[in-house]
Amino acid sequence: MTIELRNISKHFGALKANDSISLAIPPGCIQGILGENGAGKSTLMKIFSGFLRPDSGEIVFDGKPLTIHSPDDAIRLGIGMLHQDPLDFPPFRVIDDFILGSPGGLVPDRRKALADFNSLSARFGFSLSPEARVASLTVGERQQLEILRLLWLGAKVLILDEPTTGISQTQKEKLFATLKALADQGMTVFFVSHKLEDVEALCSRAAVLRQGVLVGSMEKPFDMAALVRMMFGKEVELAAKSSMAPGKKVLTVKTGSVGSIRLRIKDVNLQVRAGEVIGIAGMEGSGQDLFLRACGGLVEPAGGQFCLDESETPMNGKTYHEYMRQGVAYLPAARLEKGLVPGLSLAEHFTLSVKPKGVFIDKKAAAALSEERIAAFNIKGWPDSPVESLSGGNQQRALLSLLPEKAALILVEHPTRGLDIESTIYIWGKLKERCAAGTAILFMSSDLDEILRYSDKVLVFFAGRVTPLIASESLNVQKLGELIGGVGWDAFQGNSNA
Amino acid sequence: MPFRETAMRDDKKTRIIFGLGSVLAALALTTAIVAATGNNPLQAYGNIIQGAIGSPNVAANVLVSWVPLALATAGLLFTFTGGLWNIGIEGQITLGAIFCTWAMRSLQDTALSPGIIIAFAIAAGMLGGIFWALLAGALKTFGGVNEIFGGLGLNFVATALNLWLIFGPWKRPGVASMSGTLPFEPELWMPTVSAQSRLALIPLALAVLALVIAFILLRGSHFGLRLKAVGKNPKAAYLLGIPTWQHMLLSFALCGAFAGLAGAVQVSAVYHRLIPSISSGYGYTGLMVAMLVNFSPVFAGPVALFFAALSVGSIQLPIVLKLDSSLAGVIQGFLVLFVLIGNGLRLKLLGRKRGSI
Amino acid sequence: MKRLCILILAVLIAALALPAFAQAPKAAGSNLTIGLVMVGPYNDRGWSQANYDGMLYVLDKVPGTKLVYIDKANSADRPGTTVSQLGESLVAQGAKLICFSSDDMMDEAVKFAAAHPDIFVIMTTGDQQWKEGKAYKPMANMINIMGKMEYMKMVAGVAAAMTTKTGQIGFLGPLINDETRRLAASAYLGARYAWVNYLKKDPAQLKFRVTWIGFWFNIPGVTADPTQVADEFFNSGCDVVISGIDTTEAVAEAAKFTAQGKKVWAIPYDYSKAMDEGKGVSLGVPYFNWGPAYAKTVKEAMNGTWKAHFEWNDPDWKNINNPDTSAVGFIKGNLSKEASEGVDKFIGELAKGLNLWAGPMNLQDGTVYLKSGQKATDQQIWYLPQLLQGMTGQSVSK
C-alpha cells in the first residue's frame, strides 16, 4: 500500500503547525519523522490518525483519497496510532484492555480474543500475561500491548509518537526488532522522534520538519550531519566530557540501603567528588530513582550512612531542606508535576528561588533578576509567561536557572528526557559549566548514550543489586545494555567501591 | 510580540464576557424560578433591593452581616491560596465565638474596664479560631486526613461543643434554651454608632483591615508568593526549598484567626451572647464568595457586600411576598455555579491553544 | 478613637436607660399595622399557628388593623439574623406594634423594645413587665401576655390518666425552663388527681415520665428527634404521650403505632385544630386562644390606654372553649365514655375552685415546696424550680 499525504495544512490561530506538507511512502517502509519539539510532527500524525482534521490537503491510499474524521475511521482504514502516553486503562487486566475498543458488539468473544492475543504475542516474542493488570506493566510493555491491540484491530499502518521516551535500552531494542518485523511483512510504520540515533538505527527513510514545513527527506544511509542541519537550520555540536580533576568529597554513601520489602537495594558504597559527573543506569524500577532521592533526603534511607561534604556525620533522617542548606539540589524529571509551579510566571519562580529579603517582594529587583536569568539561560519566554506555556526544553532551562548559585551536588532525574537535541546540548552545557565550577552531578537516565557521553563514572542498578562505580571509558552501549539487563555481573563481587 | 499582546487582550475581553454571561444566566434562572412560583420576579428583586438599601438602618444591617462574611472570606483567601479547602471554617467561627464567650464570662465580674474585657475577648476568639484551624491543619499534615473531611468532622464537634456549653455549663440559671447563654451586660456590648443601630464601627474597621492584610500579604509578600506556590504545586514548592507544611499550617492559622474574629464579633457585637448557630453559615457563604471572586482579594470585599445585601434584603421576601427568603441563597448558589461553569468553559476554549491550564 | 468609643458608649447607655423612664408610645389612632414575629412556620399546626390565628382574630374584630408577619424567626432557619432585626423589618413595612410570640425571643425583644421606644411591643409568655416577677425590667412600651395553660394541662393529665392501661404516661417536653416545668408538673398533678380520686388507684402505680428534646420543635442535628422520643415512649410501655412541644409528632407517631395494632394515644398541644392529624388517637387538645388578649392589647395601643403590664389570663370557666372570652381551652378528642366523664367532672371541679397547686407538695428531690394546706402563689407556680415528686425526668438541664 502506498500512502500519500498531499498538501496537508493546519493552523492554530496564527501558528502554522503544518504548512502544505506532501509526502509519499512506499509499502513496507519505516518512515522516520524528525524534527525538534514543536516542529509539527505530532500535528501531522494526529491529522493522519483522525485526531485532528486538516484545514486543507488530503490523504491518499493507493491512489484513493480517504476521509478520516475520527480515530475510529482511521483504525477502520487500518491506521493505528501509538501515543506517547499509551491510551490504556491502568486498572484493567491486559486482556480486557486488549478487547476494549474492538468492534465485536456488546459481548466480546473473550475466548477468541485470548487466542488471538496469545498468537500475536508469540509472533513477536512478547511475554505479556493476559491476566496481569495494565498498571503493573512497564512503559515498554504497555507499548507492546498497544501494538498488539492495534494489529488485532487490523492496523496496516502504525504510527508511533516518540516511543523510545521512557523505556529502557533492552525494551527499545525489542521494540525496534518488532517494528522491523512488521515492516518486513509489508506494513508501513511511521516513527516520530527527535532522536537522530533512533531514526538512524531503525528507519529506512526520514523526513524532517521544521516550523511546520517539510524541509527535506532522505533515504538510508543517512547523512547525520545533514539531518541535524535540516532539523535546526544550523550546525550543532555535542559537548565534550569534562576533564576536571575530581576535588573534595561531596557525597559519601556507606553500605547505603534504600527501598521497601518489595525492592530493597543494599550495600551501596559511593563517593562523589566535586566536579564529577556520575550517571546511574538501570531498567525502570530497579531502585535507582529511590537511591537518587535518598541522596537528597527526599526518601528516608533504610540503612547505611549518607554523608555530605567531608563530614562523618550521616544525614540520614534529615529532610531535603537540610540537604539544600548543605548545597544539594534536586532536579526532578516531571518538570510540571514536581519541578515547576504551573500558574506561576517565570519571574515568580525566580523570586521563589532566592532567599527572601524582607517581608515584601521588591518588584524591581525581581524584574531585574528575571531579565538576567532569562538571558543567561536563553529561555524563550517573558518574565510574566506562565511556566506551563513554555516548551519542554525551555521548562528544563527554567528549572536549571532556578538552581541555587552555589550547589555542591546536583541530583538530576532524566536530565533531557523528551527534549530535542538542541535543548539537550544546551542543558548539558549548563550542567558542565557547573561541574567546571566544582559542582558534582549525580544523574539517572534511561538513555544509555546520554550516560556514556556525559558521565565520568557509571553506577548500574539491576534487581536490587548495584555495581561499584565503573569508569565510563571502559563501557559501551552494548556492555552497559547487558549490565542493566542483568548480564555480566559476575565481574562484581557486590559493591565494594571505596 | 504583537501576537502575544493580542492574545492577552482577548483573554481579558473573554473573561468579562464570560463573567457577565454567568451572572446573567444565574439571574435568568432565578427569575424563571420566581416566576414559576407565581410571583413577580421584578417585585421580588425590588423588595430585596429595598430591604438592603432602602433605609440607613437596613444598610447598616447589611454592613453588620458583611463584617463576619468579609472576615471569613479574607481568611479563606489564605487557605485557598495554599490549595486548601478549609471547610472547617464554620467550626473555626464557632470556636472563636466560644473562646470569646469564655473570656467575657471569666472577665465580666472583674474590675477590668469593659474596653479591655472586649479586647481580651476578641483576642481569645481569634485564638479559638486559630486553635481549631490548626487542628484541621495538623490532621492534614500529620494525620493525612484531607482537610475537607477533617474540617467537616471538626465542624460537627464544634457545633456539639457549642450546644453542650449552651445547654450545659453555660446555661441560664435553671433554664437551658436554644436562645443561647444569658446576654452580657450592655457595657460589654461592642459600642454601636447609635442606640438604634446594630452597626459597630470597630468590627467594621477590623473586617476592612482583614481584607487589606489579605490583599497586601497575598499580592506583594514573599509569604504570599510562597503560599501560592505551595497551593499550586506542593511538590515543586518543596523542591524549590519552600517549607511546605509550615506554610499550609500558617495559612490555616491565619484563616482561623480571621474566622475566630468573625465568631468573636458575632458574640460581642451582634448577639451579645453565645447562640447555637452562632456561625450563621458565614463560613460556607465565605467559601462561595471566595470561589466567585476566583480567590482575588480585590473583589472579595465588594462581592461579600453584595452577598450580605442579598441575605439581608431577602428578609423582606417572606414578609411582603410570602416568598421564602432562601431565594437569596438560591441566587448566591446559582451565581457561584454559573461563574464556575463559565470559567471552566472559557478555560476549555482557550486551553486548547495553551495546552494546559 | 478612644474618646469616640467612650462617647458612643455613653450615648448607648443613656439610650438604653432612657426608655425605662419614658412614656408609652403615642396612641396609634384608628389604623394600626401589627407585626407578628413567630418562631416556627406560621402554619405549624402548633404554637406559631395559634399565635397567627390569634392575630387573624384581631384583624377580624378590631377595625383598622393590618398584619405583617415573619415566621421561622430562629437562628437555625434564618442564620445571621437577629430577632430584633426581623422586628425592624416589620417596622419597615409599617408596623407600629410588634408581637414577639416566643419565649425564645425574650432577650431580643428587650433589646428591640429598648431601641424602639416608639413601637408597642407584646412579648408573649414573658415576665419582664411583672412587678413581682424575677425578670422585672420596666419598659413603657412592653406588655407581657400569657394564658393559664396550667389548667388545661391538668385536664390533659386527667384525660391521660383515665385512658392509660399501663399506668405509664409520657410527657414529650421541649426545653427545660420555668414555663415547661410548671406545665409538665400541671399535667402530672391532673393525672395524679384523676388516678387517685376518680380511679381510686395507688399514686405509686402511676408512672409519669418527662423527656426533653431541647427546643420547641425539631431542629435536625440540634435537638433530639421528637419522632424518636415519641417512639421510645410507646415502645417502653407508655400508652399515652402528652406533647409539650409546638409541633405534632406525638400524634403522628400514635397514629402509626395504632395502625400497627398497638393501643396508644397522644395529646397534642397549643393549637385548637392540632388533633386533625390523628383524630382517632388524640384524647383531646389543650390550646391557647390568643385572640381576645391580643385584641384587647391592640385596642389599647390604638386608643391610648396602653400601659405596660403583665397578664396571665384565665379560662372562661363558664365555657372554656368560648373563642371570645377564654384564654385557654381544651377540646375533647377520642375519649372513652368514662374518661370523657372524668374530664368533664374535673373541669367542673376546677371551675368551682379546685386548686391542685396546693400543699402538701414536694419537689422531685423530696424537698417540701408547699406545706399541707398552703396554696401556691403565682410566683411559686410560674417559677417552679423542679419537677414534682413522683415524676421521672430531668428537672433542670445539666
pLDDT digits (tens, 9 = 90+) for B141-152: 898 899 999 999
Q: What angle do CA C275, C278, C282 make, to 5 degrees?
A: 60
**pLDDT of amino acid A138:** 76
Q: How far apart are CA A349 and CA A378, in angstroms?
A: 16
Is the pLDDT reported for residue A322 higher than 80? yes
In a domain, A114, yes or no: yes
CA distance C78 to chain B (A): 8
CB C372: neighbour CB atoms within 10 A? Answer: 9
Q: For residues A308 and A273, is the Cβ–Cβ distance under 8 A?
A: no
Same domain, yes or no: A362 and A386: yes
Q: Is A494 left (phi over 0), alpha (psi -120 to 50) or beta?
A: left
Most confident stretch, A252-266, A335-349, B48-62, C183-197: C183-197
pLDDT, mean of residues A327-335: 89
User: What percent of chain A is predicted at pLDDT more than 70?
Assistant: 92
CB contact under 8 A, B174 and C396: yes
In chain A, which residue's Cα lies nearest the Cα of B244? A321
Which residues from C are below 8 Å from B312, CB to CB? 81
CB contact under 8 A, C79 and B270: no
CB contact under 8 A, C76 and B271: no
Instruction: Please identify, among A175, A204, A232, the residue that sits at the C-terminal boundary of a domain.
Output: A232
Interface of B with C in 148-167 (CB under 8 A): 159, 163, 167
Q: How far apart are CA B262 and CA B254, in angstroms?
A: 12
ipTM confidence:
0.83
pLDDT, mean of residues B166-195: 83
Whole domain around residue A49: which residue ranges?
A: 3-232
Q: Which chains touch B (3 or more CB pairs under 8 A)?
A: A, C
Cβ contacts of C367 within 8 Å, gap of 6 or more:
none
Largest CA distance in chain C: 76
The DSSP result for A156-167, as a single string, is: SEEEEESTTTT-
Confidence of residue B354 (pLDDT cuts 50, 70, 90): very low
> In whole angstroms, what separates CA A55 from the centre of its chain?
31
**pLDDT of amino acid A46:** 84
Q: Are strands A30-34 and A188-193 parallel, antiparallel or unpaired?
A: parallel
User: C-alpha grid cell for residue A202?
Assistant: 531503525
Confidence of residue B8 (pLDDT cuts 50, 70, 90): very low
pLDDT tens column, C238-291: 999 999 998 889 999 999 999 998 899 999 999 888 887 776 899 999 999 999
Q: How far apart are CA A367 and CA A383, in angstroms?
A: 7
Same domain, yes or no: A108 and A180: yes
- Architecture in CATH of C150-287+330-392: 3-Layer(aba) Sandwich (3.40)
CA distance B118 to chain C (A): 12
User: C-alpha grid cell for residue B29?
Assistant: 434562572
CB contact under 8 A, B175 and C397: yes
- Three-state secondary structure readout of A87-114: CCCCCCEHHHHHHCCCCCCCCCCHHHHH
Same domain, yes or no: A174 and A84: yes
Same domain, yes or no: A164 and A281: no
CB contact under 8 A, A337 and B229: no
Q: Is B117 left (phi over 0), alpha (psi -120 to 50) or beta?
A: alpha
For residues A335-364, one letter each, b for 16 or more C-beta atoms within 10 angstroms of the residue's C-beta and e for the rest, the string is: bbebbbbbbbbbbbbbbbbbeeeeeebeee
CA distance C107 to chain B (A): 7
pTM of the model: 0.77
Confidence of residue C20 (pLDDT cuts 50, 70, 90): very low
User: C-alpha grid cell for residue C85?
Assistant: 432585626
Same domain, yes or no: A297 and A214: no
Which residues from B are below 8 Å from A292, CB to CB? none
Helix (H) or strand (E) holding C298: helix C291-303
CB C276: neighbour CB atoms within 10 A? Answer: 14
Q: Exposure of A489 by Cβ count < 10 A (0-12 exposed, 13-18 middle, 19+ buried)?
A: middle
CB B169: neighbour CB atoms within 10 A? Answer: 10
Q: For residues C232 and C172, is the Cβ–Cβ distance under 8 A?
A: no
Q: How far apart are CA C210 and CA C394, in angstroms?
A: 7
* Ranges of each domain in chain C: 2-147+290-313, 150-287+330-392
Instruction: Please identify, among A371, A387, A403, the residue that sits at the C-terminal boundary of a domain.
Output: A403
Same domain, yes or no: A268 and A121: no
Q: For residues C187 and C180, is the Cβ–Cβ distance under 8 A?
A: no
pLDDT, mean of residues B165-179: 79
Average pLDDT, chain B: 87
User: What percent of chain B is predicted at pLDDT more than 90?
Assistant: 53
| A→B interface, C-beta within 8 Å | 12-14, 320-321, 324, 330, 332, 336-344, 348-349, 351-353, 356, 358-361, 363, 382, 388-389, 402, 404
Q: How far apart are CA A178 and CA A147, in angstroms?
A: 9
CB contact under 8 A, B222 and A321: no
Same domain, yes or no: A94 and A195: yes
Which of C331, C323, C324 lies closest to C347, judged by CA? C331
User: Given B226, B241, B356, which is nearest A324 (Cβ)?
Assistant: B241
Same domain, yes or no: A387 and A478: no
In a domain, A333, yes or no: no
Helix (H) or strand (E) holding B136: helix B114-143
Which of C236, C266, C272 lies closest to C249, judged by CA? C266
- Strands of the sheet containing C120-124, edge to edge, are C65-70, C32-37, C97-100, C120-124, C142-147, C309-313
Instruction: Verify A-C touch: 3 or more CB pairs within 8 A.
Output: no
CA distance B254 to chain A (A): 16
User: C-alpha grid cell for residue A136?
Assistant: 503493573
- Architecture in CATH of C2-147+290-313: 3-Layer(aba) Sandwich (3.40)
Answer with the residue of higher pLDDT: A337 or B69: B69
CB contact under 8 A, B232 and A344: yes
Which residues from B are below 8 Å from C107, CB to CB? 179-180, 183, 272-273
Reported as half-sphere exposure (CB side, CA atoms, 13 A), residue A295 has a value of 34
Same domain, yes or no: A131 and A211: yes
Instruction: Verify C-B touch: 3 or more CB pairs within 8 A.
Output: yes
- Domain total in chain A: 3
Strand-pairing partners, residue C358, are C375
